[in-house]
Structure 1
Amino acid sequence: MIGIGPRLKQERVRLKLSQSALGTIGGVETNAQGNYESGLRFPRADYLSRIAEAGVDVAYVVTGQKKLTLNGVNAVESDLNHVIARLHASLHDMTQQLYQMTHLLDARYSEKDAMSCPPLETIRTEAEAISLAIVRLICVTSKLG
């Protein structure tokens, strides 16, 4: 029977995350993540809680038992849908904040003042680019659920 470390690595690979990425999600350095996966150290409960929110099947990591299906729906699929929904809500909120920021900046500076403030146009351009990228990301991730 394989231990916690290899099961943690399996979950990380399943989610297509690097050691660094999962370590960041869990609030630990990459070397700590590597130590967990090699079995040199064991993760704490707060780390496990954080990675569970990212879709790691912590029950499997700790016990070796895979999640069962829930009303005929794979629990991992349900977790994925939950994470996608949270991601979409966060991205939507970000676009709202970008719109509000650019709207307030436009109200703050007249057209004449905007000419003397070069970063203002850069902010508008970058906010628009980010918003377009967010829309594309939402479209792509919508097809995953």
Structure 2
Amino acid sequence: MKGIGLRLRQERTRLKLSQSALGAVGGVETNAQGNYESGARYPKADYLLRVAGAGVDLDFVLTGSRHRNLESMGDRPLTEENEDLSQPLTQVSHQLHRNLFGLMDASLQLTRLVDVRAKDPQYSEANAQLDNVRAEAQSLAQATMRLIFETSKLV
């Protein structure tokens, strides 16, 4: 067990939750939670957003870095004259991740709203447009997850 699974288990343990309890929060069965923690399966974005609401540190789960306070960076310009740029890079990366999580959440909510509207006969003529919106929102959520993983390698 390594990577995301191990860190997810560490977060669950830190929060003093059982696999069953965290799985319920995330909307999955206990065996799915176990599969996530063992690395047999990877959690989806909607699961991650739900467990974040229970206090799981998604920055840590996805990147291995604990969440840091970005306000300490202030308005200092990022120049080579500044001491070490790794700290500001880490801070900016974490800020980006938080913003991307918000974007991913909004995309998933949009997808759910489109699904509800698509079932309404009043909007049957707009189903093709709704399908396009749904596909774009899902693509955006997937691209966001990939960007989070790629930027986590920078720090």
Under a length normalisation based on structure 1, what TM-score does the superposition of the two structures give? 0.47
| Larger RCO, structure (CA 8 Å, separation 6 or more) | 2
Q: Which has the larger radius of gyration?
A: 1
